Every structure is written in structure tokens, then in C-alpha cells.
Structure 1
Amino acid sequence: MQNILFDFDGTLADSGATVALATQAAFRDFALPEPSTETIAYYMGIPIETSFKAMIPNHNFTPTTYDALLNRFREHAQALESSQVTLIPGITATLSDLKANGHTLFIVTSKPTQVLERNLERLGIMSFFTDWIGSDQVAHYKPAPDGILILLDRYQLNPDNTVMVGDATHDLQMGKAAGVKTAAVTWGAHTQTALKSEKPDWLCQTTPELTQL
């Protein structure tokens, strides 16, 4: 595949602990029942604007209160990032190999663009990527295909030569909805059983396998 689109959380970076700790802390701050780490992992990769409501479906928030909850999460997450968010082992070498072999690399993430860029710069992998789409750049969140469609249009990418790589079912659903190939990675949020149920074109269990896409 010439064009490789990556999810960020759970695919390029191990951010599960940060998301779980920040979510639980924010919920505690607002006297809400803390979701389990399993529940939080299930919603990993879906923007918090959507996932938080799903984790507390019976709670009636005013828009102001809900925005305050989201902002509290962001504060906790930023405080934890530098010590908790790390690259998936081997991913830097894999990205380097892909780039050296002429692949064009992108990111489609549920993180806001500014947050993504802060993490890419800190982790030292920003230079590998041609472009990235954050949640603030799309009208509809994952698993809607908006982020991929923006890149296909912006760079005139051939869908048949483009693959979406992700660790969660909604990454694969997004890829299929956009008409590109899909590759599941098994080191992130969702189980192999869940990933296989989406029938990805590839199932990668190690980072070097990504060089074979």
C-alpha cells in the first residue's frame, strides 16, 4: 500500500493509562460513578464528546456542565501525558522503514489536532507524517469516514492503494466506510476477536508486520 493512515491512541502510542486515569479523575471531580478501565478501553479512539455521554447515558447534563467535564479531563490528561504516554515499542523503527521505502504516512485521530501535535512533537515522530486529521477537523466522528475522506480528497489518494491502520473496531469501520483497505493491530484497546469480527484485510501482531502492507 502506498498510503498508510494510522490511528494514534493504542496504535502508535500507548496512551491507555493516561486516558483511563484522566477519565476516572474527571468523573470523580464531578461526583460521577467512575467507569471501569474496561469500559474506558472500549471507547478508546472515540472522541470524549461522544464517549463520555455513552458512559453515563442516564445523566442529564447542561451543555455548560458537560463542557466543564470535558475540560477537566483534558487538564488531567495533559498533566499525565509526559510521564504516561509512550510510543509502542518498535513503532519508530517501523515508521522509519516505511518512510524510507517510499510510503506516504498520515494520521486520523479522535484527538483534537493541537493535542495530537503536542504529543507527536514530544514523542519525536512528527516528521514521519505528511498530514494529520484531528477530531476538530471533521463534521462526524469515528466510525464515520470524514477524516479519511478529507485526506483522500486533499492529496488525491487512490483508495485501492490506501490502508487505515488501527487498534479498535471503529478504526476498521471508518476505513471500510471510506472505501480503503484496513489493517488491525493487536497491541491496543480491542481484542483480536473483536477486531477479526470486522474482517480487516490484515491483522498485524507485531510492528514489523506493518512494513508488509
Structure 2
Amino acid sequence: MYSHIIFDLDGTLIESLPGIAAALNTALAASKLPTHSIEDVRTFIGDGSLTLCERAAPDQSSETIHVIHETFLAEYPKAWKSGTTVFAGIHEVISELKGMGCTLSILSNKVHEFTTEMADYFFPEKPFDLVLGQREGIAKKPDPSGIHELLGELDKSSSNSILVGDSTIDVITARNAGIKSLAVTWGYHDKSALKAVSPTLTAHKVPQILELLTPTQVPSFRQPA
């Protein structure tokens, strides 16, 4: 059993794609650039908001990308509440893990302000001992700095910690930090790409998180239909 479980946010705990797409397309339209379908935006997610904008407008100058990014950051606070939900079963999994005495944390490439605000909004019981998003001057995933910071701040060992995420970036981040990884396949990244980077564990349904991380425990909630 792992005593410290680090969660990615977007595509792992929450379905945030609609809100991201709405804010991004508003920013693109404001610069008179083509917008994208939700499925296209799905492929842009994972490396932070600046990279999101670069992928959405690949042929634009750095100055234009800067404008798009600033507009996105201004629009996203208006969009995320109506375009974001918690994946079914996640609240139950978090509650079970917390009840077992696990230390829980979040590490995201989303801007830190949004990461902490969304964690507080969707998880008002505050089950996470530390929440870290992308901050200026701190390298984002797959750099292991965020995990090292979590381990240090929470006084946790790498041998008893695991990163749960939906992207190849999460798996590589865990490997770079010397900890185990659990890839979830209900998020935004291609399943074959996830398999190719060889995560330690893989969950195809939310309740499997408990089954894989705490194999000696019996979950007390039923699997969502």
C-alpha cells in the first residue's frame, strides 16, 4: 500500500476539457484566428497553458501567442465552473484513501492559482495535504522538481509514493523523480501512447485506483454503473 498518492488534476480527477476549450476558442477568436473542436483541444492539453496556446496557433509569432495566452488566462476563470466536473467515482476513491490514512496531494501543469482554486471548489472537504500547480520559476512536469517539493514538504519517501495521471508526461515525471506511476485511461491522452511509456500500473476504470493502490483493502463503495 502506498502512503502518499500524488494526483494529476485535468483528465485524472476532473473533466475540464469543455471549459478549457471554451476559454481557448474565445482567445483565438479575439485574435481573429480559427477555433478548434473539443476533440482537437484534447490533444493540446498536458504541458501547461502557454503550450496549449502554442499548439492551438502553431504558425503564429511569439507576440501573438503571448496575446492569446493572456486572453486565455483572463477568460478561463469565467469558463471553468460551467465546463468542469469531477469524474464519477473520484470522490468515493478520495474518501476511501483518506480514510485509510493516505497522504494525498495534487501536482498539475495548470497555473497554480487555477489549480488551487479548482481543488478547493470541487473538493471542499480539502482532502489534499498539498496542492501545487505551475508556478513562475519552477519547472513543470516532466521535470521532477514538483514531486521532490511534495516529498520534502510532506516528509514522504519516494519508495511509498506514486503519481496517478492520465498522460505520458505524468508517467515520465514519476520515472524522473524515482517513484512509481499509475496511468489512468479515461483522460485526454492516447491509450497506446500511455502503454508505450510503461507505467507501473494502469487503471481503466475509476474504482481500479483503489484495487491497484491498496490491494489488501476492500473498497466500501459500489462501482458506478
Whether TM exceeds 0.5 here: the answer is: yes
The residue that corresponds to 2:5 in the other structure is: 4
Equivalences for residues 64-213 of structure 1 within 5 A: 65-125=64-124, 127-136=126-135, 139-212=138-211, 213=213
1:61, distance to aligned residue in structure 2 (A): 2.5
Task: Answer with 134-143 or 184-193: which moved more.
Answer: 134-143
Matched to 1:29, the amino acid is: A
1:136, distance to aligned residue in structure 2 (A): 0.8
1:138, distance to aligned residue in structure 2 (A): 5.5
SS of residue in 1 equivalent to 2:138: coil
SS of residue in 2 equivalent to 1:107: strand
Cα pair distance change 1:20/1:165, threshold 3 Å: same
The residue that corresponds to 2:48 in the other structure is: 47
The residue that corresponds to 2:222 in the other structure is: none
Cα pair distance change 1:158/1:138, threshold 3 Å: farther
Cα pair distance change 1:84/1:56, threshold 3 Å: closer
* CA distance in 1 between partners of 2:12 and 2:124 (Å): 13
Contact kept in structure 2, 1:163 and 1:175, CA below 8 Å? yes
Cα pair distance change 1:209/1:138, threshold 3 Å: farther
Task: Answer with 75-84 or 181-190: which moved more.
Answer: 75-84
1:78, distance to aligned residue in structure 2 (A): 1.6
1:137, distance to aligned residue in structure 2 (A): 5.9
- Is 1:15 aligned with 2:16? yes
Instruction: Tell me the number of residue pairs that the alignment of Structure 1 and Structure 2 aligns.
Output: 211
Alignment deviations for residues 17-36 of structure 1 (CA, whole Å, 9 cap, x no partner): 11122212211111223345
Contact kept in structure 2, 1:167 and 1:186, CA below 8 Å? yes
1:198, distance to aligned residue in structure 2 (A): 1.1
Cα pair distance change 1:126/1:150, threshold 3 Å: farther
- Is 1:59 aligned with 2:60? yes
Q: Which runs of 5+ in 1 are unaligned?
A: none
Cα pair distance change 1:13/1:125, threshold 3 Å: farther
Contact kept in structure 1, 2:144 and 2:176, CA below 8 Å? yes
Matched to 1:143, the amino acid is: P
Q: Percent identity?
A: 29
Contact kept in structure 2, 1:26 and 1:72, CA below 8 Å? yes
SS of residue in 1 equivalent to 2:131: strand
Choose between structure 1 and 2: higher helix proportion: 1
* CA distance in 2 between partners of 1:179 and 1:106 (Å): 17
* CA distance in 2 between partners of 1:103 and 1:121 (Å): 19
Alignment deviations for residues 138-182 of structure 1 (CA, whole Å, 9 cap, x no partner): 522222222111112222321121110001111111111111100
Matched to 2:184, the amino acid is: V
Stretches (4+) displaced over 4 A: none
Q: Which runs of 5+ in 2 are unaligned?
A: 214-225
TM-score (norm 2): 0.86
